[in-house]
Amino acid sequence: MTSTPSPSRQRGVALIVTLIALLLLMIAAAAMVRSMDSSSVMAGNLAFRRDLANRAERGIVAARAALVSGALSTETVRVADRAASNYSASKLPSGATGVPLVLTSDSAFGNAKLAAGDITDDGVTVRYVIDRQCTAAGAFDSGTCESLVAGADSGGSNWLRKPGGTARPVYRISVRVSGPRGTQAYFQTTFAN
């Protein structure tokens, strides 16, 4: 004959099983909360990086405007350094990443006596420099400067370039964007005019 356990013992086992199930549910909920927090942080970092890239465009636009229609719009002006426009007629010394050293620290920027105003908005500062990709200042010489050949025709499709174009110097526009909490991002583009 088999004996059946008493009802008081069954209630105790059910309580222990229920407590273990609740503990497992609590651990799973904590893991989900941590996962959601790290996803939010990653999404915030990506949005912050994109915001810095968008703000760097303001520096690139300002530098191009200076080269196309501003203080640096003529070739005769570009043969010498123009500190008031953050312009160097020769290549600026660069670090291992290719970023000009005058952008990597405020003291180097001040020592170079560059003076163009920074673009500041909502705690983000945009600073740019323009350097002609030549080994020395002076008149443009395709032997000492990096250059591109521009098409002779002024209209039509870009891919229909005709022979006989003139060599134009290449300008490097470098931008540093400084954001909150000491963050910095660097952007570069080249331009031939």
pLDDT tens for each residue of 151-182:
555 555 554 555 666 788 999 999 999 888 78
Residue whose tokens read 């909360």: 33
| Per-residue pLDDT, 174 | 95
Is 1 domain-assigned?
Answer: no
Q: Give me the domain span that covers residue 169.
A: 7-192
The total domain count for the chain is 1
Pairing relation of β-strands 87-88 and 124-132? parallel
What percentage of residues in the chain have a pLDDT greater than 90? 36
Please give the sequence-ordered ranges of beta strands (E in DSSP) within the chain, or none if there are none.
87-88, 119-121, 124-132, 147-150, 166-178, 184-192
| Per-residue pLDDT, 60 | 93
The mean pLDDT of 141-146, rounded to a whole number, is: 88
> 53 is written with which tokens?
């890239």
| Entry pTM | 0.72
Q: How confident is the model at residue 65 (pLDDT cuts 50, 70, 90)?
A: very high
Neighbours of 85 (CB within 10 A): 22
